[in-house]
Amino acid sequence: MGKAVYVLLGLMLATVPGTAQTLEHLYSPGTNLERSELAQLDTATRSVDVAMYSFTDRELAEELAALAHKGVKVRVYRDREQYQQEGQRDAQNTTAILLAAGIEVRVKGARDLMHLKSYAIDGRLLRTGSANWSPTGLKRQDNDVQYESSPETRGIRGCYEVASLMILAVMRMAKAMKWMPLSVFGSRS
The 10s digit of each residue's pLDDT in 130-166 is 999 999 989 999 999 988 875 542 332 333 344 555 5
The reply to whether 44 falls in a domain is: yes
With beta carbons less than 8 A apart as the criterion, state whether 74 and 68 touch. Answer: yes
pLDDT at 186 over 50: no
Which amino acid, one-letter code, is at 18? G
- What pLDDT band is residue 8 in, cutting at 50, 70 and 90? very low
Mean residue pLDDT of the chain comes to 75
pLDDT at 100 over 50: yes
With beta carbons less than 8 A apart as the criterion, state whether 166 and 176 touch. Answer: no
Of 18-27, 83-92, 160-169, least confident by mean pLDDT is 160-169
Kindly report the CATH number assigned to the domain that includes residue 24.
Answer: 3.30.870.10
pLDDT of amino acid 14: 40
pLDDT of amino acid 102: 95
Tens digit of each residue's pLDDT (9 = 90 or more) over 28-76: 999 999 999 999 999 999 989 898 989 999 999 999 999 999 999 999 9
| CA dihedral sign of residues 33, 95, 163, 13 | positive
Q: Is 142 exposed, middle or buried (CB count within 10 Å of its CB: 0-12, 13-18, 19+)?
A: exposed
The reply to whether 144 falls in a domain is: yes
The reply to whether 187 falls in a domain is: no
**How many C-beta atoms surround the C-beta of residue 113 within 10 A?**
12
The whole-angstrom separation of Cα 49 and Cα 76 is 6
The reply to whether 64 falls in a domain is: yes
Phi-psi region of 153 (alpha: psi -120 to 50; beta: other; left: phi over 0): alpha
Domain count, the chain: 1
Range of the domain at 107: 19-176
With beta carbons less than 8 A apart as the criterion, state whether 93 and 54 touch. Answer: no
